[in-house]
Chain A
Amino acid sequence: MGFLVTTLIFIVVGIIASLCARICFNRGPSANLLQLTLVITTTVCCWMMWAIVYLAQMNPLIVPILNESE
């Protein structure tokens, strides 16, 4: 699974979550906007965290050196 595929998954999950929030907690336009903002922020935060870790391991400069005992 490449970077783009997983990013797409994040986007899809984010869209599904915001639709769920819209359908389950529909409380007028301004409340919906707040929920949408929260869902988007959550998705972006989670995606950033994953993307950073993924990118850092993509082209390794350091490789794991196992301990002698293992």
Chain B
Amino acid sequence: MGERGRGCCPSMDLMRSEPMQLVQLIIPIESAHLAVSYLGDLGLIQFKDLNAEKSPFQRTYAIQIKRSGEMARKLRFFRDQMSKAGLVTGARSQVEAIANLDDLEVKLGDLEAELVEINANGDKLQRSYNELAEYKLVLQNAGKFFHSALSSAEARQREYSANQGGEESLEIPLLSEQETTADSSKQVRLGFITGLVPREKSMAFERILFRATRGNVFLRQVSVDEPVVDPVSGDKVEKNVFAVFFSGERAKNKILKICDAFGANRYSFSEDISKQSQMITEVSRRLSELKTTLDAGLVQRGNLLQTIGEHFEHWNILVRKEKAIYHTLNMLSMDVTKKCLVAEGWSPIFATKQIQDALHQATLDCNTQVEAIFQVLRTREMPPTYFRTNKFTTAFQEIVDAYGVAKYQEANPGVFTIVTFPFLFAVMFGDWGHGICLLLATLFFIVREKKLSSQKLGDITEMAFGGRYVIVLMSIFSIYTGLIYNEFFSVPFELFGPSAYVCRDATCSEASTIGLIKGRDTYPFGVDPVWHGSRSELPFLNSLKMKMSILLGVAQMNLGIILSYFNALFFKNSINTWFQFVPQMIFLNSLFGYLSLLIIVKWCTGSQADLYHVMIYMFLSPTDELGENQLFAGQKPLQMVLLLLALVSVPWMLLPKPFLLKKQHEVCNFKLSYVIFLLIIRHQGEAYAPLPDTDESLQSGTNHNGGGHGHEEFEFSEVFVHQLIHTIEFVLGAVSNTASYLRLWALSLAHSELSIVFYEKVLLLAWGYDNIFILIIGIIIFICATVGVLLVMETLSAFLHALRLHWVEFQNKFYEGDGYKFYPFSFSVLDAEEE
């Protein structure tokens, strides 16, 4: 299949995708790992999954994949820990290279266990530290309650005793004495609980306590100024220190439960003041002890993470490679002898030598006696599409691939897109001032290319950076078309000599009524500057840009059809040449090629003829005299011939191709039965002889069949309907696509009008006020509008329209785009994906 179509035209980079081959590798099992690893470094082979029917667990290397998955998990754990600790993984990986994966696995396991232990210890210590810290708070604050309670009680006692000692009044109830005695007896059994409760829950806590004990409780709270680290969750919470006084065992149980429910941590507290102070000092001592232990633990952890960080990148790459290698090995099928692995995959033909070298190297390095076997398989499957692009062409190829990946070896629109895409963009974006701004912005990207490509960028910056070479070409073409349109931020300059137009007489009185007259040679390059701001500017520019759009469109569509000819030539498909390319060319050019011709003739002769009228009546009444609309002698017979050709080319496109395909299929079937007949004859003669030559002829015979249909049943009605749709699409498309190119006119007009508005209504207006502040504001608004609307929004819209013109109007003439991309097994791609 690879040799097909060679030599029809000299080979061109990027025009055809690389010729591919299906290769089979038979690798001894002991060198398989190394061989796949070398092939991954090479990155030029796409392995086929030969075990597609097996589940991931049934495959040969499921255990190894699990192991490397486990290692990857450990590495992720380290990375999390490092990012929590604020460490950056350094690229200093060449300290000491662990090549052996088993060593690495052990080492990772050890490190993980150590880290986990350190973390657990640290957590435990941290927790007890937090508890102690809370305890200290409770001790300090609850001490105050007791102190104040004690002093108030003493005061009341004093008052009471003073009352008693003072006057023996009758008003003093007898009961009070009893009460006090009863109180003193009860006070013995009055219990209390102290602790900390989160501040937001404190109100609810108080209410619930009150309700649960029916008011038989006394709660004191004081808020702690600074947020406290909660020992359980580790978060910083604002808390209140509380002390609950209650009586009775039942109340105590209730309160304990409520404390648990509210997450209030309780701490024991002694009423004795001397004990309190003793405890405070004790707790403070232990706190400082814990603090030093914790710090030591943190330092240890930091050191551990530091050592991990030094090797991390290296290990990570190693483990990722390992995982990818085993994934690939899982795609290979085990030989019946269980001694070899059989791989199948696509590789470009130019890589044959490199692959063989890699296999040989692996055999040498593994000291295996058996060499790996490399052989090319013949297949009728469609190979993947692989374009070798460089940093310049990649972005353009991606524009094409976004629409559809090229069929294997089909003509690549990417070649012409490199020029025509920026060019059509520039036709809509013609202003050399804006072009220069865009160029400077992109040059910034290109100058700092090395630096920017290594670092991570934002989404939009990334996109602009990826397309930097597209944008550079776009801006260069915009500068060119801007010079043609003679617009520099919408201001014209007489760069190429004086205007061609002069006044009719010395007084120049008719300049604003009838207009100027052409007095010199045509302005040599671009639009005459005199048009700018004149009353007839718009009619002139509209007529010019509209006709220009049609001319450019017809030219590009012709290029598309010509590419379909090159495709037919390459695939040796003469049916497509004669019954698709030729009638399509005739149809398009007899209608719109003729229109282009009329446009040019009209410009050259300065005729007043109405082109709409000519085109419409060419169809409605082709035999009528043209009269004043005649542009050249013999126009009427020419039109009739062209119309006839266009009419003929429609059935020409539609009818012969399906019949010819049918005939070809029948011939091919006959060939096939002939070959089978031969086979039977030979079998009877010499049994089981290989028949390579007949096999080949069989293949080449079927390959002619439109490509890829092979032995499938030939469905005539299907082919016919397909051709009908294709023909209708082309005929209608010729009209609608030509009309679609008018977007070049519309967008270019919108761009120039917008820039005129910004220049005249903002900048000139501000200038007119003769005030420095207004001028500055005007300039700022002008810059913002130019950048925001013209440089960003207009660029985007012109980009999208250029994209559409390429995808639809240009590519539908020849591009099938139903291929699939070549994804080689490559470690470099792997790294980029993981990032």
Q: Which residues of A contact B (CB under 8 A)?
A: 1-2, 6, 29-31, 33-34, 37-38, 41-42, 45-46, 48-50, 52-68, 70
The listed residue (A6, A31, A41, A59) touching B603 by CB distance below 8 A is: A59
Q: Which residue of chain A has the shortest Cβ distance to B476 in the bound complex?
A: A42
Cβ–Cβ contact A34 & B531, under 8 A? no
Residues of chain B contacted by A50 (CB below 8 angstroms): 484, 525-526
User: In the complex, what distance in Å separates the CA atom of A35 from the CA atom of B604?
Assistant: 34
A10 to B547, CA, bound (A): 22
Q: Which chain B residues lie closer than 8 Å to A55 at the CB level?
A: 600, 603-604
Whether B13 lies near A57 (C-beta < 8 A) is: no
List A contacts of B523 (CB < 8 A): 57
27 contacts between A and B (CB under 8 A): A6-B524, A6-B525, A33-B10, A34-B12, A34-B13, A34-B14, A37-B415, A38-B415, A38-B418, A41-B419, A42-B419, A49-B423, A49-B484, A50-B525, A52-B544, A52-B551, A53-B526, A56-B543, A58-B522, A58-B604, A62-B515, A62-B539, A63-B518, A64-B536, A65-B515, A65-B534, A66-B511
The answer, yes or no, to whether B15 is at the interface (CB within 8 Å) is yes
Question: Closest approach, in angstroms, between the C-beta of B551 and any C-beta of chain A?
Answer: 6
In the complex, A49 Cα to B604 Cα: how many Å? Answer: 16
Q: Does B548 sit within 8 A of A, measured CB to CB?
A: yes
Whether B517 contacts A63 by the Cβ 8 Å rule is yes
Contact of B740 with A by CB under 8 A: no
- Which residues of B approach A to under 8 Å, CB–CB? 10-15, 415-416, 418-420, 423, 427, 480-481, 484, 500-501, 511-518, 521-528, 530-531, 533-537, 539-540, 543-544, 547-548, 551-552, 555, 600, 603-606, 608
Q: Taking the nearest CB of chain B, how far is it from the CB of A53, in angstroms? A: 6
Given A53-B527, A65-B514, check contact A45 B534 (CB 8 Å): no
A70 to B10 alpha-carbon distance, docked (Å): 60
User: In this complex, which of A34, A45, A55, A58 has the most chain B Cβ atoms within 10 angstroms of its Cβ?
Assistant: A45
In the bound complex, CA of A30 to CA of B388 (Å) = 12
Contacts A62-B543, A63-B516, A64-B501 supplied; 11 other A-B pairs, CB < 8 Å: A33-B11, A38-B419, A50-B526, A52-B548, A56-B548, A57-B522, A58-B522, A59-B603, A62-B515, A65-B534, A67-B533
Flag if B12 contacts A30 (CB, 8 Å): yes
Q: Contact between B540 and A49 (Cβ–Cβ < 8 Å)?
A: no
Q: Is the CB of A58 within 8 A of B603?
A: yes
Known pairs A41-B420, A64-B537, A66-B534; A56 contacts B547 (CB<8 A) = yes
- Compute how far the CA of A41 lies from the CA of B424 in the bound complex, rounded to whole angstroms: 12
* B contact residues around A60 at 8 Å (CB): 518, 606
CA distance A49 to B515 in the complex (A): 27
- Those 10 A-B pairs whose CB atoms lie nearest each other, nearest first: A59-B606, A65-B515, A63-B515, A64-B534, A55-B603, A41-B419, A34-B13, A33-B12, A65-B535, A45-B423
What residues on B are CB-neighbors of A41 within 8 Å?
416, 419-420
The interface residues of chain B lying within 8 Å CB-to-CB of A29 are 10-11
Contact A52 B522 (CB under 8 A): no
Main SS of chain A's interface residues? Answer: helix
A57, B500: Cβ atoms under 8 Å? yes
Given contacts A65-B512, A65-B515, A65-B534, contact A34 B547 (CB under 8 A): no
- Residue from B13, B419, B420, B530 in contact with A30 in the complex, judged by beta carbons closer than 8 Å: B13
> Do A64 and B531 touch (CB < 8 A)?
yes
B603 in contact with A37 (CB, 8 Å): no
Nearest B residue (CB) for A49: B484
Residues of the B chain whose Cβ atoms lie less than 8 Å from the Cβ of A34: 12-15, 415
Question: Are A53 and B484 closer than 8 Å at their CB atoms?
Answer: yes
| A68 vs B606: C-alpha distance when bound (angstroms) | 28
- Identify the closest chain A residue to B524 (Cβ): A1
Cross-chain contact A68 with B512 (CB below 8 angstroms): yes
Note all chain B residues with C-beta closer than 8 A to A38.
415, 418-419
Nearest CB in chain A to that of B606: its residue: A59
Which chain B residue shows the least CB distance to A56? Answer: B544
Chain A residues in 8 Å Cβ range of B515: 62-66
A63 and B605 form a contact (CB under 8 A) = no
A42–B481 alpha-carbon span in the complex (Å): 12
B10 and A48 form a contact (CB under 8 A): no
**Bound complex: CA A57 to CA B415 (Å):** 33
Question: Pick the contact of A64 from B10, B423, B524, B530 — CB < 8 Å?
Answer: B530
Is there contact, CB below 8 Å, between A37 and B12?
A: yes
Instruction: Give the residues in chain A near B531, CB-CB below 8 Å.
Output: 64
Q: A53-B526, A54-B522 are in contact. Are A62 and B536 (CB under 8 A)?
A: yes
Alpha-carbon gap, A62 to B517, bound state (A):
10
> How many angstroms between the C-alpha atoms of A49 and B748 in the bound complex?
13
Whole-angstrom distance between the Cβ of A36 and the nearest chain B Cβ: 9
A48 touches B551 (CB 8 A): yes
A13–B200 Cα distance when bound, in Å, is: 81
Cβ–Cβ < 8 Å partners of B536 in chain A: 62-65
- Assembled-state Cα–Cα distance A65/B530 (Å): 9
Q: How far is the CB of B614 from chain A (nearest CB, A)?
A: 16
A56: min CB distance to chain B, Å: 5
Per the bound structure, the CA–CA distance linking A28 and B539 in Å amounts to: 50
Measured between alpha carbons, how far is A70 from B537 in the docked complex, in Å? Answer: 14
| Closest residue on chain A to residue B419 by CB atoms | A41
- Contact status of A66 and B522, CB under 8 A, knowing A34-B415, A59-B603: no
| A1, A49, A57, A67: the one within 8 Å of B512 (CB) | A67
Given A6-B524, A63-B501, also A48-B555 (CB < 8 A): yes
| Interchain CA distance A66-B535 in the complex, whole Å | 6
Residue in A closest to B600 when the chains form the complex, CB atoms: A55
Residues of B within 8 A of A46 (CB): 480
A65 and B480 CA atoms in complex are apart in Å by: 27
Once the chains bind, are B427 and A49 in contact (CB under 8 Å)? yes
Min CB distance A26 to B, Å, is 13
Residues of chain B contacted by A67 (CB below 8 angstroms): 512, 533-535
- Please, which residue of chain A has its CB at the minimum distance from the CB of B531? A64
Query: In the complex the two chains form, what is the Cα distance from A29 to B10 in whole Å?
Result: 9
**A30-B605 Cα distance, complex, nearest whole Å:** 44
A65-B605 in contact (CB<8A): no
CA distance A64 to B536 in the complex (A): 5
Do A57 and B427 touch (CB < 8 A)?
A: no
B525 contacts across to A, CB distance below 8 A = 6, 50, 54
A50 nearest CB across to chain B (Å):
6
**Nearest residue, chain B, Cβ from A54:** B522
Least Cβ–Cβ distance between B651 and chain A, in angstroms: 33
How far, in angstroms, from A47 to B429 measured CA to CA in the complex?
18
A49 to B552, CA, bound (A): 8
Q: Shortest CB–CB separation between residue A12 and chain B, in angstroms? A: 15
Q: Report chain A residues within 8 Å CB of B516.
A: 63-66
Q: In the bound complex, do residue B512 and residue A66 qualify as a contact, i.e. CB atoms below 8 Å apart?
A: yes
Give the distance to chain B from A38, nearest Cβ to Cβ, in Å: 6
